[in-house]
């Protein structure tokens, strides 16, 4: 019974690890979708920047905006690019962290599965040993019963012989 509780506990831990793995895979899929959406957004932003190009002498000369406005727009765009780079870095770190957790949980699940298999094998060996002991006990009890029956028959024969000897003993003394 205690061994079965141990097996049930290991099975519950394996199920828990599987659940955690599924959860981490879902988290990773979500991050990958967010990462892809951000990547597409950044590509559009970069295309717009490269089509427009850097603020040059021609832009300053022929633009309807002032030089400070043009430089402010360029700085704002650079800030957005820096922000996007940091966001990508965060996503990459999240993916690496989730992959590490996923690998650790997979390893833990493998170890628990091995423990469960070992415990199951041990349980089968214990059951076999218990069955062998039960069979041996039954044989011993059967032999004990046979010995007791033989002992009763021997005592009965002994008492019958004693009675027979006592009957013959007085008749032998009367003949002499």
pLDDT in tens, 82-97: 888 888 898 889 889 8
49 has a pLDDT exceeding 80: no
Q: pLDDT digit string (tens) for 123-136?
A: 888 889 989 999 99
* Residue 158 CA to its chain's centroid (Å): 70
Residue predicted with more confidence, 101 or 155: 155
The answer, as to whether pTM is greater than 0.75, is: no
HEC-encoded secondary structure of 48-90: HHHHHCCCCHHHHHHCCCCHHHHHHHHHHHHHHHHHHHHHHHH
| C-alpha distances in Å from residue 98, one per residue of 2, 20, 36, 38, 101 | 36, 11, 17, 19, 5
Q: What is the pLDDT of residue 156?
A: 95
Q: Which two tokens stand for residue 82?
A: 């820096």
Q: Say if CB 9 and CB 115 are below 8 A apart.
A: no
CA–CA distance, 164 with 69 (Å, rounded to integer): 139
Q: What is the pLDDT of residue 139?
A: 95
């Amino acid at each position: 019974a205690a061994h079965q509780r141990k097996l049930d506990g290991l099975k519950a831990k394996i199920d828990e690890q599987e659940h955690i793995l599924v959860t981490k895979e879902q988290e990773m899929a979500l991050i990958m979708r967010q990462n892809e959406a951000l990547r597409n957004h950044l590509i559009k932003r970069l295309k717009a920047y490269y089509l427009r190009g850097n603020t040059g002498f021609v832009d300053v000369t022929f633009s309807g905006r002032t030089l400070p406005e043009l430089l402010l727009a360029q700085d704002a765009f650079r800030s957005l690019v820096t922000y996007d780079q940091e966001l990508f870095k965060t996503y990459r770190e999240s993916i690496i962290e989730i992959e590490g957790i996923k690998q650790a949980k997979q390893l833990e699940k493998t170890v628990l599965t091995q423990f469960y298999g070992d415990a199951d094998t041990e349980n089968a060996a214990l059951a076999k040993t218990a069955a062998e002991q039960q069979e041996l006990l039954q044989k011993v009890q059967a032999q004990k019963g046979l010995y007791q029956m033989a002992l009763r028959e021997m005592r009965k024969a002994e008492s019958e012989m004693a009675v027979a000897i006592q009957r013959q003993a007085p008749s032998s003394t009367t003949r002499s």
